[in-house]
């Protein structure tokens, strides 16, 4: 677990999210800010439009969970995706391509089972 601080909130970086969720699902998020961890690692915070939950991703696609008092800990990508999308089917607005969200979660679950 590491401390992190918001470095900037003006210049979005979408590539880490696109690499993880693909172009069909990226529209379901807003970029919020960039975090610098104490070891210099860069994270980007993306907020689900439907659930209002955050997905924190490193440049290489690793997922992190926010822990109170400006701390972040690594988590499994599948866990982070399931957390950010939990209950999305019942909420409005729906992601632009709901079937793509369903496919994304199924793909990551299958990959986790294959390991």
Could you tell me which of 23, 73, 22, 68 has the C-alpha nearest to residue 43? 73
| For range 81-110, the mean pLDDT | 91
Name the residue ranges covered by the structural domains of the chain.
Answer: 2-114
Nearest-10 crossing angle of helices 77-85, 98-114: 150
5-14: pLDDT as tens digits: 999 999 999 9
pLDDT on residue 93: 81
For the stretch 21-30, pLDDT in tens is 999 999 999 9
Structure-token match 């172009």, residue found: 23
pLDDT for res 113: 86
How far, rounded to the nearest angstrom, does the alpha carbon of residue 66 sit from its chain's CA centroid? 11
**pLDDT of amino acid 92:** 82
* Residues 31, 44 contacting (CB under 8 angstroms): yes
Return the pLDDT at 115: 77
């Amino acid at each position: 677990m590491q401390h992190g601080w918001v470095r900037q909130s003006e210049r979005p970086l979408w590539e880490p999210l696109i690499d993880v969720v693909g172009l069909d699902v990226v529209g379901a998020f807003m970029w919020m800010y960039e975090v610098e961890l104490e070891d210099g690692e860069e994270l980007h915070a993306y907020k689900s439009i439907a659930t209002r939950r955050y997905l924190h991703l490193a440049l290489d696609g690793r997922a992190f969970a926010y822990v109170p008092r400006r701390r972040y800990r690594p988590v499994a990508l599948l866990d982070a995706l399931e957390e950010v999308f939990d209950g999305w089917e019942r909420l409005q607005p729906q992601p632009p391509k709901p079937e793509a969200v369903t496919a994304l979660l199924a793909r990551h679950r299958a990959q986790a089972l294959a390991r």
